[in-house]
Structure 1
Amino acid sequence: MSQQSRARAKAGKSRRRQSRSKICHCCGAQVMFCWQCRCGFSMCQSCMYENQWGMTCNGITWECPDCGAQNGYGNQ
């Protein structure tokens, strides 16, 4: 492996996502995973489960309570 290819590999590793905890807008908890909208709204898994009845009608998409945008659950 040449020095140039090692440098590229090292640079790629630094650009990977860092594990950052996020803050839920509903309960204020700091969690590792949040459902996020493009507007910046985020909701933790437990809050999403509790409020799913009012945020989705088909189980495939959820509607952001802040901006009204449709977001996917990633199950299709």
Structure 2
Amino acid sequence: MDTANLSLLPNDFNKKSPDNFILSVALKYAQENSILLTSDNGLQIKTKGLSITTITLKDFFETIFTT
């Protein structure tokens, strides 16, 4: 399991929020064509503002079982 790097987050993000810990790890890998799997609408909204690609669990399963 990777560790969070909260310094990657924008200054106005709550550094104690579990969602933001996840976001900081996703930001570490943003340049590696990574995708964050989440069905959490609030987290998806934050990822759009940070240019992090996301996919929902439902969409993930549809992709796997239709290819």
TM-score per shorter chain, which class? under 0.3
User: Whose helix proportion is higher, 1 or 2?
Assistant: 2
TM-score normalised over the length of structure 1: 0.24
From the two aligned structures, give the one with the greater strand fraction.
1
Greater Rg, structure 1 or structure 2? Answer: 1
Higher RCO (CA 8 Å, separation ≥ 6 residues): 2
Using the size of structure 2 for normalisation, the TM-score is 0.25
